Amino acid sequence: MTRIFTEEGAAVPVTVIEAGPCPVVQIKTDESDGYSAVQLGFSAKKAKRASRPELGHAARAGLEAAPRILREFEVGDDEEFELGQRLTVEVFEAGDTVKVTGTSKGRGFQGVVKRWGFAGRPASHGHSHSRTPGSMGPGTDPSRVIKGKKLPGRMGGVRKTILNLEVVKVDTERNLLFIKGGVPGSRNSYVLITK
């Protein structure tokens, strides 16, 4: 994350994302596969880390190296793609609204105050356990803890989608997108950007 300044001088917090180039690795059609989709790749694996089938799959699309990430997207009848075609950040414009999906940072095992925002217990008058969840089972009937109760546990490390993020700036030379606000995941993690 960083910030950029508008012409009026206002500071805008942005996340800088390298978005592309994403080559078209495979085109699936109704005749051959039963549905219409396009398979896009991103980044490149070292040759010694790629299997021979991966290298062959990439070579069929005219790529020198196997992509590090492959993702498939359904396409409409009016959209046409060519094998080896590269999609870049030029599909976005400043002012576009996008949604960003990624894996959030793993926080490990956390208590209820951090995980669910509980207020905690009294901190004074001899009370020693100020961050415990407190009483949780409802009486004699049903005399058990109800499923779904907010309790301590593992936090983060899940797939999250942030909606309605604004594209502030597009750098076509370096394939960079400047998106207003934060996105899920740590530095150098992979995200999916959808218009």
For 159-180, the DSSP string reads: EEEEEEEEEEEEETTTTEEEEE
Query: Is-above-0.85 flag for pTM?
Result: no
DSSP 8-state symbol, 30: H
Regarding whether 98 and 180 lie in a shared domain, the answer is yes
pLDDT, tens digit, 9 for 90 and up, residues 98-136: 999 999 999 999 999 999 999 988 888 888 878 888 888
Regarding whether 175 and 97 lie in a shared domain, the answer is yes
Cα–Cα separations (whole angstroms), residue 170 to 20, 45, 139, 143 = 12, 26, 58, 58
Question: Structural domain of residue 119, as residue ranges?
Answer: 1-19+89-128+150-195
Q: Rounded to whole angstroms, how far apart are CA atoms 61 and 89?
A: 20
Regarding whether 53 and 34 lie in a shared domain, the answer is yes
The amino acid at residue 97 is: T
Regarding whether 189 and 165 lie in a shared domain, the answer is yes
Q: Would you state the pLDDT for residue 126?
A: 86
Give yes or no for residue 178 having a pLDDT over 90.
yes
pLDDT, tens digit, 9 for 90 and up, residues 51-85: 999 999 999 999 999 999 999 999 877 778 899 89
Per the structure, the count of domains in the chain is 2
Q: 45 and 67 in contact (C-beta within 8 Å)? A: yes
Residue 188 included in any domain: yes
The amino acid at residue 28 is: K
Regarding whether 115 and 76 lie in a shared domain, the answer is no
